[in-house]
Every structure is written in C-alpha cells, then in structure tokens.
Chain A
C-alpha cells in the first residue's frame, strides 16, 4: 500500500504507523463520564468501504495524516494533514 504524504510524496505503508479511527472524538479532557471514555477507547465501527483514519509518518516527517481508505480495495481516495493544518496531498 502506498500513502501520499503531503510533505514527502508517495511512500510505502511500512514508513507509516496506523494511529486509529479519525472519526472517534476524544471526550473533553475535563469530562468525567466513564461511558464516554469507554466508547472513545474501546468502541470502533468496522465499516466495509471508506474509512477515515489517522496515520503517522513515523519514518518520515512524523506528520499525522488523515487518510480516507477503502477497507475492501485499500484504495486511498484522499490524504490531508491532520490537526490544525488542512493541506491536501497533490493528486
């Protein structure tokens, strides 16, 4: 699998580390609700098709990427920098 890093260009998946589902929102840091934290840590959807997920370019620029990957075909339809930067990979 090849992921196009917005900084470094197309690189093999072995350079990256899978970080997790990008749709899962961490509860507010001050939130005390165990169920919310339980959902955040343990509950995941397992969709067939497009999946929005975080990858870190650990052996490259170390940026976190938001990758839209099809779980059936492994086709990656979009990669953007995750976090406060929203730079898309050049197509």
Chain B
C-alpha cells in the first residue's frame, strides 16, 4: 500500500494551506483539514503503532473514533497525550506525534518476539501462568509484563493548559449531526424549544459526504450547507462540533467533552484546551449513526487491510488515495457503492470479492472492475505491507472453502455491514435487541426520555430517515450476509477480532473450550472489547463467533451492556479547575497574614490553614516547636484556635439535648461554666470531643474538633429532626463567625489582666472551666478558662472581623512575659505530654475506655451509643488501650510504628513528639491490654524505613498528672 494525494478531491482539504508536522521526529507535510492519519497515508506511512500484546505492525484501519490500531502520543512534555487515535487528531502546523508500543523503533521492535511465543500468550495466559503459581512469582514478573504489554506512557510533567467545566440546560439534546441528527434538529427548531446539537467531528454532516443521492433536489453537500445555515438562524439552537458525549447518566444528565483547542498548537490566552460539559436535557435524541464492521479472516490485521468506508472517506474528504491496486471484500451491496465511488475519485479499485453467490446484477456496472462472487478472502499476507491475498469459493452452510487462488494487491478494503453505535442507549440500561436484517443489535424501547433515530436503529438509507423529503438515487442499504470467521488453509495465521487488545478467534475458542459461555465471562477472560476503543469494531464479530461456537443464535448468546465513557476522557478534563490550590476550599483564619509575617510554616488542618511552627533565625521545625512548647510551660504562649468547630445550641431543651448526645452529664452545667464532653456514635465508638459553654439557661456554645465540625452539626440536626422532633432546640454553625485564640502558660493570667480590665481573673472571679464576657479596647470578647496544654490557660473568642485586633492586643500585652505564638506542633507536644487525646486517637475505632475516659461516661443516664458501647467486642479485655511510651534509646519515635512485644504485634503508635518537659522522646500508643503493660519494655518498629527502637510503657499522663499547673 502506498498512499498518495488525489489532487482535485478532498472536500475538507485546503490545498492553499500546507502544514508541516513531525512523526517520531521526522518532518512530514500535509494540508489544513487533514487528520494525522490522512496526512500519514498521503505520505505513504500507514504503520503508526505496534499492537498491544504481540507488538505486531498494524496499519491505519479506519477514518474515525473507532480506530483500534493507530494510537499515537501527541505533543510532548506537559502537553503529552498518549493513546490518541491518529484518525481523530486534526493536523496543525508544528504538531509532533510519536509512535507507541515500539522499542527501539517502529520498524524494528524487539518485543515482536512475542509473536513467536504467541501460542503461549493466549486467553487467560497470565492467570494460568502466574496467578496459580503463587503470588511471589507473579510479583516478580508483573513489572516486566506490564512494561511489555502497555499503551502509551503518560507524561510526568504538569499540564500547563487549562480545563474548564460548564453546564448546559437544554429542552432537547441531539447527539450526532449526521443526516438523522440534522433532520431532527430541523424539525425541532421551529417549535421554539432550546436545542443543543452536538457532533464529535469537526464538521456536521456525518455519513452524508459519501451520500450520492439528492435530498429535495440538492446534492448532499449543498443540503448540509443549507441546513446549517437555516439552523444557525434560530436563536434557540446551539450547535457544537468537536464535542463528544461520552456518558448518559441518571435523570437525563449527560457528560460531554468539547475539544476547544486540541486542533491548535497551544490554546489562546485564557482559552481552555478542553471543556467538560454536564448537559441536563429534558429530551435526548440519539443519532449516533453506525460504524462499518470488519470481516474476520486469516491475516486480517496485515497493514494494508482497511475498512472500505474509511478508504472512501480518505479519498472523498481528504483527497488521499490509500493504495495503487485496491480490492474490496464485501458481504453486502454497500461494498459495490464504495468501489464505484472510489473509482470515480480516481482510486484504482481492481477487484470486488463478494461472499454472496447471488448478487443483484444492476450492481455490476464497471468494466474496469473484476467482480468475483461466491468467494471469500481466505488470507492476507505481506508482513509490514500487504502484497498478496488468497481467495477461494466459499460454501456458507458447510463452512468449507474451495481451491485457493492468489491475487496480488497492495490494499484490501473490507465491508462487513454496519454496526449501529448503540453505546449511549445501552448506558441508560435499555437492553439491546437483535435486528436480523442488518445482523446487529439496535436499541430496545427507551425507558427514559430519549429516542434514537437514523442508522443507530438500523435505518441506514436516506429514504428511511427523510420520510417526507424527496430522496433520489440514495445509497443502497447495507444488508450484510451473515458471516462469522472465514476458514483458512493456513492454520497458523491468526484471525484477529479485537485488534486493540490482540484478541483472536483462537482466544475465543480457548475460552469456550475452558467452559466460558456467558458473553460477560468471555469478555473478561479474553479482554475482548475492553480496550480504550470499547470494541467498536470487534464486538459484533465476537458475538457472532461465540454464538456459532455454542450453536445458538446471536440474540441467544446475548450482548454486554456498554458503560461510560464511550470514548476515553482525560483526567485533566474531569478535574477542570479543581487542581493545585483550587483543589478544594481553603479557609484562612483572620490572623493568617500575621502568621505568615511572623515566619509561620502553614499546614492544612481539614480545610483550614494553621501555623505549624513559627521559625526564628533559621530554626528547624523541631527547634521551633521545642522552643514554643517550652515557652508555654515557662511563661506564656498564644495559639490560633479559630479552626475549632463552633455550634450555637439554643432552646428550652438545650441542656436536655446535650445530655442525650454527650456521654457525660450535662443537665446541671451551671450558667457561666464550660464542660468537657465526649460524643459517641450510635454504635458506641467515640465520635468527637470538645467543650460546651453554658451561656444562659437556654444557650450553649459548643466547640468540636476542627476535622469533625461538619459531621457533628449534621448528626445533631439528624437527631433533632428525625429522632427527637419534640425537643425545642435549634443548632447552627457559627464556626466562621467567631475567631478564637488560646493563651496558655503560667503568665496567661498576667497577660490577659493587662488588656481585659472588666474581668475578675481571680480564682473566685474566673475559676477553672469558668466562662465570662469582657472587652478589649471596647471590643467584646468571650473568655473561658480551659486548658489543652495542662497549664493555666484561657480561650478568648471574638467576632471574626475583630480577630486580628484582639490577637495583636494580647501579643502586645504579653510582651513583658515574652509571649510566644505557637503552632500545631507545639500544641501537639503539650497535649501529648498531658495524655490528652486528639485526631490520631479518635480514629473512629476507639472507645472511651480505650483512651482512659471510661470512668467519665455516665452510668445514670442513656445517651447516644450508651447501649452498644457495652457490646462484647467493645468491652473485650484484649482491646488496645492507650498508654504512653518513652524511648529508651533517646531516639525519635515515628507515628504509625508497630508495637512489638517480643515478636508479637500488640498495637501501634498514634502520636509522637519530643517532650521538652521530660527531655525525652515520647509517644502515645494503643496496645493490647495496655493497662497491664505499664513498666514493660516494648519495641517500636517502622518497617518501611527499617527503623526500630526500644521503649518503656508508662501511664499516658507524662506531665503533671495531678493537674496542679492549672492553678499556677
């Protein structure tokens, strides 16, 4: 096969605009309007990739999105996109594309040695060879196998381009702008509904460009032009090309990708490369057309074998001649139409081979073509380029071939009828039904608000589509002669069904022999139809062959349901702008800028950003948190606690409500006092902890952990709405309305006394757990005497917009005591030293008893989780309970390390730190029956880094167990 240009032809080609591009680094030329595939054929190159498993050279097979062979990588660096069908890549000046699956080069591929071993590499080979022999052998081989059998490689650099998302709401969505889609749009446009018409190609018109008949007296090209003009005058019609609907989801929600700038070297400024569209349509018209079906025979994957319709498109649309000496192998009338049109365009079609014995004699019109009926192609040969085919008389009922005869040609076009593209219909759950006339599945009756029209329901001709319009001399309908695989005299030649996944007839036979009957099993065992092309060219042939093996009809063998996506969708397109800093919502506290200005390293805590440490004079993180924690113990520190969840609980039954959701008593919390509470889930495990401050008889201010704020609110709302609707309580989130800071350390009282003149900070005026109101420079603040660090400490809350002012005022007041801002690291150190639990201990599996809070749970009342907390599994003596660990080796301990007693794994480390107060590396750990292990020595191991250290098990309250520091 040696391609060339057919000057004077090519409806899509602009011969005035030549284009330079490269393939595998070599420069080629094409024209504006070309696809990469058409330009490469014109340059005489049809092998763009090697096959997936056997690394066989494969030629361009189609002219559209069904392409199984010519998958290439386009562009480079961050813009690299692998596995793109060359048949859908629009050429632009400077395009660079690369072959795949070939090493060291496309023409010489070492892995093609796999062909020699191909009798071994059949269906189920990997499972049988590796999976059965034990995991170790598989793990050893997996790396090499995955390398050998692969598609293109993804780029490692970030994509510099932008991807957008948008929504479309439309009364009617028409998918496919071919004859059926365009006529549906014309009909719908005049009734005023909003209509969105999409087509995945650059041009509307679909198969009409190869249609010879006339519509209303116009040839098809002028009819397309006129129709598009009419439609563009309607305000209610939106037309989008280069837009592929890939998924049909619930409630008539469809996913589509618009390739905005894929046909350009780079998107314009602020232009996205692709746009993801979510389309909400009241009614959907599916006019997705059909794809030509190959015929399965020996050597059918030889480069130079191509779909007949594709060759016609290359000639008619791109002015590209696919070969010098062309034969067509057909089983239907459309093959003749293709042959004659190709000759009219100047392609040298010499032979038509038709499997049918009886043929309508009016088809035999061209004296230059040799028509051979009742014959089949039994094999195609030629290695990297087709050179010879063998044909033989064929008897269908007995499946026998007569004497073979050689014909020398360079291109063989195959036409096995058409397969409706029912993918989107099938995605809606509608079972496909078999249409005997066209030997293919068509959509069954819709269960939702969609309808299918045109070739997708088997109406291949213009007469069937345009009922009211006058059609003259339209193309004949392709009614295929039922056919499975064709016998061959050469048993070693492979007959491929699925080119992209290298699945052959032999593989199907093996699967059948091994007992696979259901098409679902067959598909998974052989991987047929599971490649990126979803078996667009292979499914129907596979079903026919499987049905024949089983001795049943095709509808009895059944078909599989298609799933989204119809065509692969890039991850970047699905992500849209949700990348990098926009990946999710970021919340900053009002003190954020102050933190940054004072050397803070910020860290994500849920959706919030919090200071991790404030680095001074080249400190490391460790230096900084040790300094900060020491300052809190020795004088005073201040930490931003704005990220705590805050919920306003109001109503006459507020105390009763909290009493039901906290495990400890809340009914009698006095006004002006806070209480620490633990919430359980309904199943008895710990949910969250925090303090609730009684502000009045009917109002509490509840704080939750940063991470659980949203979940706690939802759970409270659930209980109040669904379980206890009679409780007169209302809850609302006030997390964003309040800024908070904790002032901790022996000098915390002295600091606050300097700025808050209207609060009595004496033991009587503001006792431990007391809550009161005051002002700083006339700004109202709420102050509670709570401590997470174990030192005397106060939490100061104020309106968010005053947060930074209050923060600065307190810092100024604390200057005499060298007040030290501290971050989450020091906060962690201080609470670990005190054995206070936090996120790592509240892992969703622990109970109150596990973390030493068992005695806090009330036995006098029922609360959420109170009954199931007592179930056997949660009260087992061998449960992991919280203990402290002190490193014997003066070595840092790693969170997540396993705890070994001897060689037995008895638990894991949850939180670790260096303790400045103890001058030791310490940790909290959950270990089996921990309370009895105090005083033992255990080993903490971190196998990922091969680290090990010995540690002493101690009470988790490392520091000031009596709590005297609260009153210093």
Contacts and interface: CB of A to CB of B under 8 A. Distances in A.
Nearest to B721: A83
A74 B867 CA distance: 35
Contacts of B469: none
Interface in B454-510: none
Given A34-B867, A37-B867, A38-B871, A54 B250 contact: no
A8 to B, nearest CB: 16
Contact of B429 (A12, A32, A63, A73): A73
Given A73-B429, A83-B725, A1 B717 contact: no
A47 interface: no
A64 B253 contact: no
Most chain B Cβ neighbours within 10 Å, of A33, A37, A56: A37
A30 to B, nearest CB: 5
Contacts of A23: none
B359 to A, nearest CB: 47
B682 interface: yes
Contacts of A17: 714
Contact of A73 (B447, B682, B683): B447
Residue of B250, B429, B722 with highest tally of chain A CB at under 10 A: B722
A74 B251 contact: yes
A12 B717 CA distance: 21
A2 interface: yes
Contact of B868 (A30, A38, A54, A73): A38
A70 B637 CA distance: 57
A38 B724 CA distance: 20
Contact of B867 (A31, A58, A64, A73): A31
A82 interface: yes
A60 to B, nearest CB: 13
A30 B251 contact: no
Interface in B844-896: 862, 867-868, 870-871
Contacts of B714: 17, 56, 58
Contacts of A73: 429, 447
Interface in A31-62: 31-34, 37-38, 40-42, 54, 56, 58, 62
Nearest to A83: B721
Contacts of B717: 56, 62, 64
Of the four ranges (under 10, 10 to 19, 20 to 34, 35 or more), the interface on chain A belongs to 20 to 34
Contact of B723 (A26, A37, A38, A41): A26
Nearest to A26: B723
A55 to B, nearest CB: 11
A28 B280 CA distance: 44
Contacts of A19: 718, 722
A1 B868 CA distance: 35
B646 interface: no
B785 interface: no
Q: Which of A17, A29, A62 has the most CB of B within 10 A?
A: A29
A53 to B, nearest CB: 12
The size class of the interface chain B forms with chain A is 20 to 34
B660 interface: yes
A16 to B, nearest CB: 11
B447 A29 contact: no
A42 B873 CA distance: 14
A60 B872 CA distance: 40
B718 A56 contact: yes
Contacts of A54: 718, 722
A33 B208 CA distance: 73
A2 B447 CA distance: 17
B682 A40 contact: yes
A37 B868 contact: yes
B725 A84 contact: yes
A24 to B, nearest CB: 10
A91 to B, nearest CB: 15
A36 B228 CA distance: 67
B862 A74 contact: no
A42 to B, nearest CB: 8
A40 B864 CA distance: 12
A40 B868 CA distance: 10
B721 A41 contact: no
Contacts of B862: 29-30, 32
A12 B723 CA distance: 26
Interface in B669-688: 682-683
A2 B725 contact: no
Contacts of A38: 868, 871
Contact of A83 (B249, B447, B722): B722
A30 B724 CA distance: 13
A34 B725 contact: no
Interface in B235-262: 249-251, 253
A64 B871 contact: no
A33 B866 CA distance: 11
B660 A64 contact: no
A2 B279 CA distance: 13
A30 B736 CA distance: 36
Nearest to A58: B714
Given A41-B682, A73-B447, A2 B867 contact: no
B718 A64 contact: yes
Contact of B253 (A2, A30, A58, A82): A2
Closest 6 CB pairs of A and B: A83-B721, A84-B725, A2-B251, A1-B250, A74-B250, A37-B867
Given A2-B251, A32-B867, 20 more contacts: A2-B280, A19-B722, A29-B724, A29-B862, A32-B862, A34-B867, A34-B870, A34-B871, A37-B682, A42-B683, A54-B718, A56-B717, A56-B718, A64-B721, A73-B429, A73-B447, A74-B250, A82-B722, A83-B721, A83-B725
22 contacts: A1-B249, A1-B251, A2-B250, A2-B253, A26-B723, A29-B723, A31-B867, A34-B870, A37-B682, A37-B867, A37-B868, A56-B718, A58-B710, A58-B714, A62-B717, A64-B717, A74-B250, A82-B721, A83-B721, A83-B722, A83-B725, A84-B725
